[in-house]
Structures are given as structure tokens and as C-alpha cells.
Amino acid sequence: MATVSMAFSLPALNSRNLRRVKRNSGMAFATVSKETTALGVKITEGEGNLPKVVLTSAGGSEAELYLFGGCVTSWKASNGKDLLFVRPDAVFNKKKPISGGIPHCFPQFGPGPMQQHGFARNMDWSIVDSENVEGNPIITLELKDGPYSRAMWDFSFHALYKVILNTKSISTELTIKNTDNKPFSFNTALHTYFSASVTGASVKGLKGCKTLNKDPDPANPLEGKEERDVITFPGFVDCIYLDAPNEVHLDNGLGDTISIGNTNWSDAVLWNPHLQMEACYKDFVCVENAKIGNVQLEPERSWTAKQHLSIS
């Protein structure tokens, strides 16, 4: 798999603020000062020496975000418990997407004419802004088209991804802008992996939704309607819920109830691979905010969707 490489150096601690630095390649890296670190934003080397952003709130919560894939890989509440899950087979070498956390699916959800889940999770995102509001760090990343993306999807676009960490929540805001001179369409999702005990995990809030169930045949989803108040994960689960509500609740089976809210993510997906991933399926479930139907964007128009994960 081809990837886009990004020149990166560890942040210097003598600059006065977080700033964007342009490279000849059009990518960017950031330097960070002691002042910025005090605002809850730290840039360091993560797994595989990949650049990683660590966000820390005044309330003691913490999140980690890799620039490769724009992937949030960790969200710890103030008690230090990680509510997200990264699979043990995840690699951090840019040869494949990071398997776990909150990967991007864009501009394609699932299989299709291009590689699985599109290309956004296989590219380097750049830092464009960082701030702190009342002790809550906020960072904004961007992704633009390049030779790698255009080989699969020949359009010019600009994506912005804002991540906001609070004491008991983490929120994201994804904006896609058409910077081409012709219209394009896409679909997208946040493929969120939650730490869970699969035998005890359940989801509430999807009763009444139209379903596209990929069990037993992923290639031929069965249409139906969700009749259950509480959805569990007794085996292989791969189901799309159309016109989902703007909030569902996950009991992760580990003592936590997580509210999964959204604005403009019209659909939801539940997934657990069961014995297809025998080494780890018992330790996570995926509850994903998604836009399954195509978003049509004219030139210079934008689409925005927000996700809000919180614990009580």
C-alpha cells in the first residue's frame, strides 16, 4: 500500500507558540513551546516514531492523537481508564491504517471502488490550530488531496478535523469542503473502537431504525427493522442503522456507560468480528457514527458533522 510521507522533527521548546510550518511537500509539522504544553497540548513521538499529539485537560482526562490517519487512539477519563481500544495487531509503520481508536472512513465507507474505507486513514494530517478554552485543549488538523488520494479519487478537497477534550468527554468536528471546480460525492464514518467486555456490552437507543444486516452474508445485507430495546453482541455483528437518533448509549460491560452523540451523522454502525479476530474480539465493540448515503457537494460547498462521547 502506498502512503504519503511527512517530514517531521520533534518539537522544539524555545518557540513562543504553536505554529504551522510549511514544507516544500505541502505537508506541515508543528513546534510547541512550554506555554503551549501548559495549555494541554504536547507533541511527541508515538509508536513507530510516528508524531503523536497528547491532550490533557485541567480535569485530568487525556487523549492521544496520531497525525498519521488523524486517528485518536486513546481517551482516558480522569480516573486513568482508557475508554477506547487499539487492536493488538495494530501496526504503526504507515504500511496500513492504525487498527483501533477512532479511524476515519473517507471518502468511502466499507468496500467499494477504492481501498477499504477510503484513504483518509492512510494519509498524514497536519496541525493547523491549537487552543485551550477553560482548561479544555482543542486541536485542529487538516487533510488535503495529493497524488496518493487523486490516484483513487480525482477531486480536490479540504478536510478539517477538530478534537476537543473535556474532563468527561471528547468531541470531534469533521468538515469536508469541495475545493474542486466540479461537484463530488462521498460517504464517511468514524470507525470507533470502544474497550468492552463483549459478553456484557449492550447498546440502547436504536429501536425502530431501518437496518442493513450483514450477518450472515456481508456481501448481501438484509433489510429489516430493529425491534430490540437493548442490542447485545452474542456473535458476529455487522449492522447498519439508517436514520439513527442523535444519541445512543453504550454499556461497555466494564462498568462504564458512554453516551455517543452526534450532529449530522445520520446513521450508525455496530460491529464485532467475533471469531474472525479470535485474539481480541472479546475486548472491544465498535459503535460508529456514519453517513452511509452519499453526500453531494458542489464546488466551494462544505459538509460538517460532530461527534460527542461522554461518560456520566
Domains in the chain: boundaries: 19-311
- Pairwise CA distance, residues 138 & 131, whole Å: 5
Helix (H/G/I), strand (E/B), else coil: 184: strand
In this prediction, residue 110 carries a pLDDT of 83
Burial class of residue 265 (count of CB atoms within 10 Å of its CB; 0-12, 13-18, 19+) = buried
- Pairwise CA distance, residues 260 & 308, whole Å: 6
- Pairwise CA distance, residues 45 & 10, whole Å: 7
The three cell numbers locating residue 136: 479544555
Instruction: Identify the bridge partners of residue 286 per DSSP, sorted by sequence position.
Output: 193, 271
**Number of Cα atoms under 13 Å in the Cβ half of residue 206:** 32
In this prediction, residue 5 carries a pLDDT of 29
Helix (H/G/I), strand (E/B), else coil: 275: helix
In this prediction, residue 187 carries a pLDDT of 97
Instruction: Identify the bridge partners of residue 258 per DSSP, sorted by sequence position.
Output: 250, 311
The whole-angstrom distance between residue 200's C-alpha and the CA centroid of its chain comes to 24
In this prediction, residue 36 carries a pLDDT of 52
Query: What is this structure's pTM?
Result: 0.89
Burial class of residue 74 (count of CB atoms within 10 Å of its CB; 0-12, 13-18, 19+) = buried
Which among 47, 54, 48, 57 is positioned nearest to 127, based on CA atoms?
54
- Pairwise CA distance, residues 73 & 82, whole Å: 10
In this prediction, residue 312 carries a pLDDT of 83
Q: Are 195 and 101 in contact (CB under 8 A)?
A: no
Element containing residue 144 per DSSP (H, E)? strand 136-144
Cite the active site residues. 191, 288
**Number of Cα atoms under 13 Å in the Cβ half of residue 85:** 22
- At 256-297, the pLDDT tens digits run 999 999 999 999 999 999 999 999 999 999 999 999 999 999
Average pLDDT over all residues of the chain: 89
Q: What integer is the mean pLDDT of 210-236?
A: 94
- How many residues make up the chain in this entry? 312
pLDDT at 10 over 80: no
Task: Tally DSSP H helices, then E strands, for the chain.
Answer: 2, 23
The three cell numbers locating residue 282: 472479546
Q: What integer is the mean pLDDT of 206-235?
A: 95
The three cell numbers locating residue 262: 452526534
CATH class of the domain defined by 19-311 = mainly beta
